Structure 1
């Protein structure tokens, strides 16, 4: 059938030609942009999914940058602490040199004290000038702030804590009391009465966590003098002696399971009485069954006991008077007073109201992805704090005007303070190193894997498959050419009507 007014074949050819041109344009767009989805019309559901994945990629990338920045902050703090450690080692050497009194002149002591003063000033300067983009790192700015400190808390150290909108209450439940190691020497009379003939001294060997020593006492020696002689070696034994009635109580100088007191009777010399261990739950009471002096065939030993309990419901590790807890929500240790650690019961230790260096190490901004790292003040007045009775000493007391100066101060106590300061700085460096390795390092590795997987998922949805699209382009090009030729033929069909009119 031949018509002139309406060329149906041409219309069909135009439609197909336009469709093939559209397919060709789509392939060209995808190949030129590298994206399969260039607009919502290409794949509405795929567009939504890919945009969500792009958002996740951006958040993960930012989290990786945050973790790397946190690592840089810790590196700066570590640099300052490393130098402080070196300075403390130098102070330790100067204290030991000055203790050699007979071999040092007064001028040399003065020179050593001047060096210590200069070192203390340098430590304070490092503490106040170690900064990251103007933010001071070692002056206590990132230490945790507490309130409502209980009197039973002697000292504390907060390494990390998750704090919400309100202060974090820290409560302890003491389930096991801290105890000294100890034994009781029953002597029955105020003076030693030795019945051996010929007269031999009453000889015992006392051992403690720091060493052991043999003591000999003649008949008639007052038990107060026995205790004094033992106490003369308290620092080398780790054992102190106290008169209790007509006996002597020997106790370790410190609390805890690593403390012990042992007594071996070398020669009882006819002395009446015996050796008793102390009660496991009350160190002020002797156990009912003792051993007579003449029946002691091997050392009688008693061990100390660590405090035990929980902090905020989680089991805490006890060491002497110290309760220590490490969890995702809380990392701290609290040193209790003797009264607090030896009494079973509950203690409201303190409240953590704020502070800590806050880092967001995850793609989401929530408590699970945020960590707070406590960086304490490392100035001289804060390092090496120890108790001398009720007085708190620190590294600053080694200064020229301090009670532990090298000229006329207590050098033994000065060394204890320096040792404590070295432990403080070393512990802080170790904690920062652990944070770098186990928190930041692991986080960066984990986020890197997550970024790879999310990128792969987004690529599978949105990116162009060049092999497939190139084949589609070739097909579209051929079909466009074919449609163009067919359109030309369809336009020629009406010419056949002229032959009918010829």
Structure 2
């Protein structure tokens, strides 16, 4: 049927031509952009997946850049640390050289000290000037910050290498110690203490008293002199008095009487009595009355006449004084029981000036002889004793007198006692080897060596063996200077008789080891070595050393610091890494032996003061720097480099995935383009034919 109002064929051709044009435009767009998805209409689901992958790829690109930059920072720090290591090695060489003081002059050692001072200055300069785009790397600003908690004073050294501080920017650390580190120890029982020979001692004691004095009075009658003397010495005679009166009967002899303590001699007014008559009459009276008083005269037959005398009293009497003592201490010049002699004898012999001292070895008597009349000083007796070969003497401090009169003093000697022979120590000579963590030493000791002498010999080389000794009564305790499983005490008896002391104590030998600390850090078992523990997890990497043998739990907080690197595409804690880089200046480098700055001129570890301490400090400093370099190198190699490889591989995979979704397949799109071009051309021709069909109606009308 032929119709002209509705050209169905033309409409069909138009629709097909429009569809072909759309396909042609789509192919041209994809081929010109290289993308299969140019708008959401092209593939809504594919667009969503593609954009998500693009976002991840963008983050990965920045992560790769971040990782590369972090690696550059680590490389910069490591390069500077390498120079610090070189300087420290030079310092160590100078210290070892300066320890050869027997071969080096003072000027050479001083020159070494100047080089050390320069090296220390260079290390400080490197610590302050090592930067990356203005960011200082080795001055301590990249080290972790900590806040002390419970028992933090027990921490001798703390090194936080890495820590993930999370969203709170801090992490609490709890160290629970279940067992403290222990030293290795071996005890040798029944080591006899040494008995030192002791010399016998004795005392020579002198007693001195003030002599009594008689009371006297002198008087004169006429031309004659008289002396009235109390026979008994002492002050009691001072109470006596005498008076002479001339009221007696004419021509009678002198009459003597006594009233109380007063004697009266009565003479006649015309008396012709002589001095002798008066003395005779007086002494006859006192004898009859048993009085202790005597009247003497220097006169004789001269007539005294009717002389008189006012009452006069006796005076000058003195009692015997209180006893005082002084002592000379004597000591035998040779020790042992042989110095316990029998006694000390004291003798007074006329003409013995100065005093003498003689020792009779046969009788064991030391005899001290002084003059029996001359005054003697204690110092002169001491000089006499010290002049001999057997004894020494000294005046005891606090003696009440220093010289005496032998006629009124007596010396008493005590026996020499307390002499002790030397003894004790090892029962037999022995050769033994002692080994510790630092090395071994062979000791050759003789019979009688005391426990104190063993302690002295062992401690003399404790720095070479790592074993120290201490005496506890008769027990010799050998203890390692170090703690942990690496600490050992090994004693091996090489040669000793079967009755020897060491063999009885440890047999052929004995060996023990110490034990390491056992602890948990935030509930995770830590690796222990001596008094140090270490933990390394994805969120925390630290090492900690506690006081020797400490078993107290410790808490602290890491509240900032560290160099934080964003290593993943998401800004979350598990895609970040923090590493601590502590200061390497001379005030920070070092350990338990001291800090590096102490090696400077005037410091406690300067070459002129303590090269041994200097060597220990430098060794610890080298270990710190080497450990830091190793830690940074491990972080760079294992964390950064591996992360970089992983990121690049992930990026490649994601780009491939995104390309497979979004990129155009040129072969497929080229085929579609050709098909679309052909369909458009064909559709155009068909539409032209379809539009010509209605014209066929005109032929019907003709």
SS in 2 for 1:205: strand
State which of 370, 390, 396 in structure 1 corresponds to 2:597: 396
Q: Does the 8 Å contact 2:193/2:424 carry over to 1?
A: no
1:329 paired to 2:539? yes
The residue number in structure 1 matching 2:157 is: 155
Task: Choose 260-269 or 408-417, whichever is displaced more.
Answer: 260-269
Task: Choose 466-475 or 187-196, whichever is displaced more.
Answer: 187-196
State which of 485, 490, 514 in structure 2 corresponds to 1:262: 490
> Per-residue displacement from partner, 1:412-434 (whole Å, max 9, x unpaired)?
11011111111111111111111
The residue number in structure 1 matching 2:411 is: none
- Deviation of 1:269 (Å): 5.2
Q: How does 1:382-421 map to 2 (within 5 A)?
A: 382-387=588-593, 393-406=594-607, 408-421=608-621
Q: Distance in 1 between matches of 2:499 and 2:121?
A: 59
1:296 paired to 2:298? no
Q: Distance in 2 between matches of 1:155 and 1:301?
A: 30
- Deviation of 1:228 (Å): 1.1
- Deviation of 1:205 (Å): 2.3
- Deviation of 1:473 (Å): 0.9
> Per-residue displacement from partner, 1:403-454 (whole Å, max 9, x unpaired)?
1112x22111101111111111111111111111110111111111111111
Q: Distance in 2 between matches of 1:128 and 1:244?
A: 53
Q: How does 1:137-286 map to 2 (within 5 A)?
A: 137-148=137-148, 150-164=152-166, 165=168, 167-191=170-194, 193=424, 200-268=428-496
The residue number in structure 2 matching 1:367 is: 573
1:490 paired to 2:665? no
- Deviation of 1:307 (Å): 1.0
SS in 2 for 1:45: helix
| Higher Rg | 2
Q: Does the 8 Å contact 2:164/2:578 carry over to 1?
A: yes
Q: Does the 8 Å contact 1:153/1:349 carry over to 2?
A: no
1:467–1:215 Cα change, 3 Å: same
1:353 paired to 2:563? no
Q: Distance in 1 between matches of 2:68 and 2:47?
A: 31
Task: Choose 201-210 or 320-329, whichever is displaced more.
Answer: 201-210
1:441–1:215 Cα change, 3 Å: same
Number of equivalenced pairs: 471
Q: Distance in 1 between matches of 2:651 and 2:102?
A: 68
SS in 2 for 1:155: strand
1:325–1:70 Cα change, 3 Å: same
Q: How does 1:2-17 map to 2 (within 5 A)?
A: 2-17=2-17
SS in 2 for 1:404: coil
Q: How does 1:58-207 map to 2 (within 5 A)?
A: 58-148=58-148, 150-164=152-166, 165=168, 167-191=170-194, 193=424, 200-207=428-435
Task: Choose 88-97 or 216-225, whichever is displaced more.
Answer: 216-225
- Deviation of 1:70 (Å): 0.7
Q: Does the 8 Å contact 2:182/2:549 carry over to 1?
A: no
Q: Distance in 2 between matches of 1:45 and 1:75?
A: 45
- Deviation of 1:267 (Å): 4.3
- Deviation of 1:147 (Å): 0.6
Q: Distance in 1 between matches of 2:170 and 2:36?
A: 52
- Deviation of 1:82 (Å): 0.6
> Per-residue displacement from partner, 1:191-242 (whole Å, max 9, x unpaired)?
273686xxx5244322212222222334444322221121111111111011
Q: Does the 8 Å contact 2:589/2:595 carry over to 1?
A: yes
Q: Does the 8 Å contact 1:194/1:269 carry over to 2?
A: no
* Unaligned runs of at least 5 residues, structure 2: 195-422
Q: Which is richer in helix?
A: 1
> Per-residue displacement from partner, 1:270-302 (whole Å, max 9, x unpaired)?
76756xxxxxxxxxxxxxxxx724x723x2111
Scaled by the length of structure 2, what TM-score is found? Answer: 0.65
1:366–1:475 Cα change, 3 Å: same
Q: Does the 8 Å contact 1:155/1:336 carry over to 2?
A: yes
Q: Distance in 2 between matches of 1:385 and 1:266?
A: 38
- Deviation of 1:306 (Å): 1.1
Q: Does the 8 Å contact 1:130/1:137 carry over to 2?
A: yes
Q: Which is richer in strand?
A: 2
- Deviation of 1:153 (Å): 0.8
Q: Distance in 1 between matches of 2:41 and 2:493?
A: 97
1:499 paired to 2:501? no
Q: Distance in 2 between matches of 1:409 and 1:323?
A: 34
- Deviation of 1:111 (Å): 1.5
Q: Does the 8 Å contact 1:213/1:237 carry over to 2?
A: yes
- Deviation of 1:462 (Å): 0.7
SS in 2 for 1:435: helix
Q: Distance in 2 between matches of 1:32 and 1:54?
A: 21
The residue number in structure 2 matching 1:315 is: 525
> Per-residue displacement from partner, 1:138-191 (whole Å, max 9, x unpaired)?
111110000115111111111001113053121122223211111111135322
Q: Distance in 2 between matches of 1:271 and 1:244?
A: 23
SS in 2 for 1:249: strand
The residue number in structure 2 matching 1:283 is: none
* Unaligned runs of at least 5 residues, structure 1: 275-290, 388-392
Q: Does the 8 Å contact 1:187/1:271 carry over to 2?
A: no
Q: Distance in 2 between matches of 1:339 and 1:36?
A: 72
The residue number in structure 1 matching 2:640 is: 440
Q: Distance in 2 between matches of 1:97 and 1:264?
A: 35
1:272–1:104 Cα change, 3 Å: closer
1:182–1:271 Cα change, 3 Å: farther
Q: Does the 8 Å contact 2:175/2:519 carry over to 1?
A: yes
SS in 1 for 2:153: coil
Q: Distance in 2 between matches of 1:272 and 1:486?
A: 128
The residue number in structure 1 matching 2:36 is: 36
Q: Does the 8 Å contact 1:167/1:352 carry over to 2?
A: yes
Q: Distance in 2 between matches of 1:304 and 1:195?
A: 28
